[in-house]
Amino acid sequence: MRSDSQGDLRRTLSYFFLHCSLHGRYHELAPHLVPMDYTNDPDVKIPLALIVNMPELKENPFRNRIVESFSEDGQGNLSFNDFVDMFSVLSEMAPRELKAIFAFKIYVHSFRGYFNVDNYICNEDLEKTLNKLTKEELTPEEVNLVCEKAIEEADLDGDNKLSFADFENMISRAPDFLR
């Protein structure tokens, strides 16, 4: 009797937690798409356009990239698992290394699917990043200069593109990167 009630309590608690925090948010994004009951693992995905409008991402210049890099299909459709994934990485509790990996994913614009060390940040990625960051207020020459300098600074192996090792090395020393 006692244990039963405990189990019940726990179960209700778990639902409470889930529904209060993340799943609630997930459900809110598309109430007509997402069921509240997840016992049967329905295959539900929310399209990019809806997720991008979350207050956390709304003002972020990289919002599309963020969502894309977390989605399993690379198109920006997030299942609930992807959604939780995104939150866990963007949370302030996530360790630096993890953040670095996902930051790399975000900055490599051609990136789709899972993490792969064979990806590189190339000049075009940098240009896109810059234009997003500055709302395209820099002239093309300035953008070129910045890209050139950035690659020159961070590129350790001289291939004119940033591998993950370069990126990690650079970003792990940044003062702004998670203090």
Partner 1 sequence: MPRHKLIASESDGKDNEFSLYYVEVEENSQGGQEKQTTRDGKRRRERNGEVSRRRASEKRTTEVDTKRAEKKHEKRHKTARKEGEKHEKRQRRKNADEEEAEEESNKEKKNIKNERTKTLRRDDEKEKDVKKKRKKHVKNEEDNANSGKTKQKDCHDMPLKEKKKKRKKPETTSESESKSESDSAPESKDNQAVGVLGSLTPEELEKLKEAVDERKKLIATMRGKPWPMKKKLVVLRSSCVLQRQETLLIISFLYYSNCQKWMKFQRDFENFKTACIPWEMKIKEIESHFGSSVASYFIFLRWMYGINMILFGLTFGLVMVPEALMGKPYGSIPRKTVPREEEASAMNFAILWDFGGYAKYSVLFYGYYNSQRAIGWLKFRLPLSYFLVGVGTVAYSYMVVIRTMARNANEEGGGDDTSFNFSWKTFTSWDYLIGNPETADNKFASITTSFKEAIVEEQESRKDDNIHLTRFLRVLANFLVLCCLAGSGYLIYFVVRRSQKFALLGLENYGWWERNEVNMVMSLLGMFCPMLFDVISTLENYHPRVALQWQLGRIFALFLGNLYTFIIALMDAIQLKRAEEEIVKKNMTIWQANLYNGTVPDNSTAPPITVHPADIPRGPCWETMVGQEFVRLIISDTMTTYITLLIGDFLRAVLVRFLNNCWCWDLEYGFPSYSEFDVSGNVLGLIFNQGMIWMGAFYAPCLPALNLLRLHVSMYLQCWAVMCCNVPQERVFKASGSNNFYMAMLLVILFLSTLPAIYTIVSIPPSFDCGPFSGKTRMFDVIQETLESDFPAWFGKMFSYASNPGLVLPFLLLLVLAIYYLQSTSKTYKRVNMELKKKLQTQNEENKKKNKLAALKAANELEQARKAGEQRSSSSQHTQNSEPPVSSTHTTTRPPASRGHTSSGHLPGHPQQPQKNSHSNRR
Please report, as residue ranges, which positions from 89 to 148 form the binding site for partner 1 (by CB under 8 A): 90-95, 97-98, 101-103, 107, 113-116, 126, 129-130, 133-135, 137-138, 142, 145-146
Q: Determine if 153 is a binding residue for partner 1 (CB under 8 A).
A: yes
C-beta closer to partner 1: residue 50 or 131: 131
Distance from C-alpha of 54 to C-alpha of 59, rounded to nearest angstrom: 9
Nearest one of 94, 90, 101 to 168, comparing CA atoms: 101
Nearest distance from residue 109's CB to partner 1, in Å?
Answer: 13
DSSP 40-93: T----EE-HHHHTTSHHHHT-TTHHHHHHHHSSSSSS-EEHHHHHHHHHHHSTT
Compute CA distances 163 → 29, 104, 131, whole Å: 35, 9, 21
Q: Determine if 88 is a binding residue for partner 1 (CB under 8 A).
A: yes
Nearest distance from residue 48's CB to partner 1, in Å?
Answer: 17
Nearest distance from residue 61's CB to partner 1, in Å?
Answer: 6
Among the residue ranges 6-14, 29-37, 44-52, the one whose residues contact partner 1 (CB under 8 A): 6-14
Q: Determine if 149 is a binding residue for partner 1 (CB under 8 A).
A: yes
Nearest distance from residue 10's CB to partner 1, in Å?
Answer: 6
Nearest one of 21, 102, 42 to 68, comparing CA atoms: 102
How many of the other CB atoms lie within 10 Å of CB of 110?
A: 11
- In the list 36, 73, 110, 156, the residue contacting partner 1 (rule: CB under 8 A) is 156
Please report, as residue ranges, which positions from 28 to 57 form the binding site for partner 1 (by CB under 8 A): 41, 55-56
Reported in sequence order, the residue ranges of 6-47 that DSSP labels E, i.e. its strands, are 45-46
- In the list 27, 76, 82, 109, the residue contacting partner 1 (rule: CB under 8 A) is 82
